[in-house]
Amino acid sequence: MHTLTRKQKEILDFLLNSQDDFLHPPTLDELCAAMGLKSRGSMHHQIKALIDAEYIEPSERKQRGIRLTARAKSLIIPADTNALPFVGVIAAGMPIEAIENITYMTIPEQIKTENPCYVLKVKGDSMVEEGIFDGDWVIIEQRSHARNGEIVVALVDKAEATLKFIEQYPHETLLIPANSKMEAMRYKPQQVEIQGVLVGQMRSYIHH
């Protein structure tokens, strides 16, 4: 668990409070200028610590910049304390991209934990035998570890996310569907990152 220094928290708070002020992810120089700091080297050191803590990440675009992660955005607490960040769509089938497009949903307190959580919408039918259907919303407790047999959000090859049971062994990691028509997906342990564990679920019966 990373503990932020006062300066690192100050930079993170600035990014959280001013993210709408930048048309593109700010560069180190732009961040220094915006915060009135002269030492680019010192800023680089603080930014590296925030990257290690998984609060920010380098922009994947051609222009270099710094953007907030879903973990950082989950720190923005709306007035409704039962509102959780809704961060997009998760595959309950073949992996698809998890979209980080942050809005908020009000969630009953009974189906979330005291730890940071977020909401994903399910796409696909690979978890139907566990009662998780296409279009359901799942509440995910954000953490990077899980016990074998838990349902997790797994990021595969740092590119695609999926909702599956997980079984972890020294030589391989299995992502297992709850659909007898589908087979488990097998990966090397280093290919799979756990982004959270299922703690709750919601469903709408309204047809739009």
Active site residues: 126, 164
- CB burial string 164-203: b at 16+ within 10 A, e below: bbbeeeeeebbbbbbbeebeebeeeeeebbbbbbbbbbee
Q: What are phi and psi of 17, to 5 degrees?
A: -85, -15
**Given the DSSP bridges, would you call strands 83-91 and 117-123 parallel, antiparallel or unpaired?**
parallel
The continuous run of DSSP H or E covering 71 comes out as helix 70-73
The tokens describing 186, both together, are: 């097998």
